[in-house]
Structure 1
Amino acid sequence: MAAVQQLITTLIKFKTPDHWLSNAPRIVVIGAGGNGSEVVDCLAQFHHAMISLGHKHGLHVTIIDDSVVREPNLVRQRFWPCDLGQFKAVSLANRYNLLLGMSWEGLPYRFPSAQTAKAIENADLIITAVDLPSARVSIGACQSVKRQCMWLDLGNGHRHGQVVFGGIEKVMRSQYPNVLDAYPEIPTLKDDNSKSCSAAASIRAQDCLVNRAVTTAGMSIVWELLRYGETAKHWLVLNLETGDQMSYPFPAPQPPKRKRPIKKA
């Protein structure tokens, strides 16, 4: 009984792999819109902070998105009028490469595709910032990821959002469940590819600060991994309307079931 109680009360943590400290962690951001562009901005800040703190390489980031910047994107996303008509992924990569002297990559392709396969295979952390169930299912079914590759998924509605951090590979996923385990209905959902036709419509669909709030919550997990070497955060849920934010740890491992002795006839 004491052993079972210990399992329940022990906080499960994911430890940052050693090679994140000796090399540049390879982070892939899928989606460069409301959440994705905020994610890239956070990663640029993290890169600069890591270099300042003595990390030799900082971060290597690859951004995947086949969309171009449109006028409605200028309200909730980190783009400006000078970016109009450019591929979002390329625009963001070029911006931070010029500002910080990096060699981040922007891939203007849809995920999944042959052009994005290598980035996924080499990733240490995949961050999904797309509201497409099919993209999440594709990540969960991916067989070519590194064993320790982790997955941070960001999603939001009009004034609420959620963040789920977990594994992809089978063994890692059993220890650290991912967004498909948190929301098992995802594979049954259909993609919504509709786009806002104006800035006003964009704000009606998603409030002005929801992307920044969701991203700040999610990227706090990434910063803990980079700065403190571990995190116990698995699932975050926030509501801008009420101001509430709730955090849930990784589930404790289940104790092995005892086999009942077979009664002799």
Structure 2
Amino acid sequence: MKAPKTNVHFLDNYLLSPTNPIRINVIGAGGTGSKIMTALMEINHSLLELDHPGLDVCLWDDDIITSANVGRQRFAESEKGLFKSQAIINRLNRWSGTNWKAETKRFERDFDGKIPDYAGASVYVSCTDTVASRFAISEILHELNKKYQNHRDKGRYWLDLGNSKDTGQAVLSTIGRIEQPASKKFKTFETLPSIIEEYGNAMVSSEQEDNTPSCSLAEALSKQDLFISSTIAQLGASLLWNLFKTGMTENRGFFLNLQNFRTQPICVGS
């Protein structure tokens, strides 16, 4: 009796051996976004040491740093009043010598309904607070995929990171189909469903978030545990790192409960 094949997804062929830095758009610079940026800096340095061209990251966020952000998010007292995206990018560029970019605006359509030409990227990482923002991102990514179908920065993957007070999840999805190699050992999957495709209806019916800005760190901590964002960011970055490093993955995300320290992987094909 033959053993069942392992379900896997192989990394897009271009990203497996790129000739230029992999362009990544990070959407949201709050608790999770501010911390995954540090992880991406570490991934970039490690890839460069492996003779890889590394990452080219752009961070999108229109929020200003307030007192409530200092402590739980990766900001200092001296950065209050600055744009979150600019503060993070300037800090990382000084630290690591990169030339990453900040956009002090939301990742959304212009006033005339158009998507900015410079919004294209190979990988998108969303760290937003609302269900509505995820639906908007999903729509934009599919439109960009048609626009940049034959371009180097054609969208290939979307990693969505989200959390509530002490639980959270990461879902890695493909933007369109990623051609897979023939394999006798593995069962390959050319598409990975997005968080909208898989959980969209449940997300809409269960959203009860209070998006009123917190006035203090104490108030912010009543909405989100101190380490939920950083844990989600680290595990999500690890998912990306292993995909880039090994060129394949058996998992397309995870569910996390920080209250009881349990993590459940979301397997490819499940």
Give TM-score, length-normalised by structure 2. Answer: 0.83
Post-superposition shift, 1:17? 3.1
CA distance in 1, matches of 2:116, 2:213: 26
Distance 1:117 1:250, change over 3 A: farther
Of 156, 161, 166, which residue of structure 1 is paired with 2:173?
166
Provide the residue aligned with 2:229 in structure 1.
211
CA deviation digits over 1:65-106, x for unaligned, max 9? 000111110121111111110000111111111111111110
Of 122, 129, 132, which residue of structure 2 is paired with 1:131?
129
Query: Gapped runs of 5+ residues in structure 1?
Result: 253-265
**Equivalent residues of 2:61, 2:105 under 8 A apart:** yes
**Equivalent residues of 2:12, 2:156 under 8 A apart:** no
Post-superposition shift, 1:190? 7.6
Structural mapping, 1:84-95, within 5 Å: 84-95=80-91
Distance 1:227 1:126, change over 3 A: same
Identity in percent = 29
Distance 1:77 1:17, change over 3 A: farther
RMSD: 2.4
Residue type at the aligned position of 2:96: L
Provide the residue aligned with 2:109 in structure 1.
113
CA distance in 2, matches of 1:157, 1:75: 18
The alignment status of 1:150 with 2:150, answered yes or no, reads no
Of 47, 51, 59, which residue of structure 2 is paired with 1:50?
47
The alignment status of 1:36 with 2:33, answered yes or no, reads yes
CA deviation digits over 1:138-187, x for unaligned, max 9? 12212113555210000111111111000233x46982101112312235
SS where residue 175 of structure 1 aligns? coil
SS where residue 54 of structure 2 aligns? coil
Higher relative contact order (CA closer than 8 Å, sequence separation 6+): 2
Residue type at the aligned position of 2:165: H
CA distance in 2, matches of 1:77, 1:174: 36
Distance 1:65 1:227, change over 3 A: same
Task: Compare 242-251 and 182-191 and name the one that shifted more.
Answer: 182-191
CA distance in 2, matches of 1:129, 1:219: 12
The alignment status of 1:78 with 2:74, answered yes or no, reads yes
Of 199, 205, 211, which residue of structure 1 is paired with 2:217?
199
CA distance in 1, matches of 2:161, 2:144: 22
CA distance in 2, matches of 1:92, 1:17: 31
CA distance in 1, matches of 2:29, 2:118: 16
Distance 1:238 1:65, change over 3 A: same
Give TM-score, length-normalised by structure 1. Answer: 0.84
**Equivalent residues of 1:107, 1:116 under 8 A apart:** no
Post-superposition shift, 1:191? 7.1
Q: How many residues get paired?
A: 245
Dislocated runs of 4+, deviation >6 Å: none
CA distance in 1, matches of 2:204, 2:156: 21
Query: Gapped runs of 5+ residues in structure 2?
Result: 150-154, 179-188
Of 188, 191, 194, which residue of structure 2 is paired with 1:175?
191
Provide the residue aligned with 2:60 in structure 1.
64
CA deviation digits over 1:183-205, x for unaligned, max 9? 12235658753111111011111
